[in-house]
Amino acid sequence: MKARQGYILLEVIVCTFIMSMLIMVLYSIIISAINTKDNIEDKIELNQQAEEMEYHIKNIVENSINIINITTTDNEVIETLQEDKTYNVLSIKLNFKSDDENINSKNKKDNQEISFKRDLKKIFINTLYDDNSNKAGGYEIGDYVESIKIKIESSKLICIIINLEKDKVTLEKEMKLFIKSNE
């Protein structure tokens, strides 16, 4: 018999096909792992954003005396909220009583507003001064917000629902909060 000196064309084609299949499998595994990592990072970030927003909103609402009004997504201002009705909101204005009554009345925070900027997908806390001055008093508390809803469960219990979305990952954060009484 004659000794073989090299590969034949068929062997090269089969080897190339097997190598290309292995490369495609490895590529799909790597892409899948990257997508999974990105989704997990997005979920973690949304959870962190939701926890930070809950901290700030809980602090404002639970130190408030009452809700002054809400502005719905239809730009309707509602002062008397119905129990067990859910409102999509752009802002929630709350009557906020300062712990320090000795503060100069020009600097005293009388009202707070939780404000949702749809175009920016962010939530802000704004200080509304009683003397209608134009002082800056707001700060951002969260990103990736798609919507805010409020539901009045009783005269002192409200439920705020925040929907967050980042790169097709969604999260809904529900907060049940008590408002201090006027007494």
Q: What is the pLDDT of residues 131-172, one digit of tens each?
A: 655 565 689 999 999 999 999 998 789 999 999 999 999 999
Strands (E), the chain: 64-72, 77-78, 86-96, 109-117, 122-129, 138-142, 145-152, 157-166, 169-178
Report the distance separating Cα 41 and Cα 49, nearest Å: 12
67-87 confidence digits (pLDDT tens): 999 999 999 999 988 998 999
pLDDT at 52 over 70: yes
pTM of this structure: 0.78
24-50 confidence digits (pLDDT tens): 999 999 999 999 999 999 999 999 999
Task: Please give the pLDDT value at position 183.
Answer: 47
| Mean pLDDT of the chain, nearest integer | 87
**Which tokens in the block code for residue 2?**
């004659």
Q: Are 177 and 62 in contact (CB under 8 A)?
A: yes
Q: Are 131 and 105 in contact (CB under 8 A)?
A: yes
Residue range 2-18: average pLDDT?
A: 84
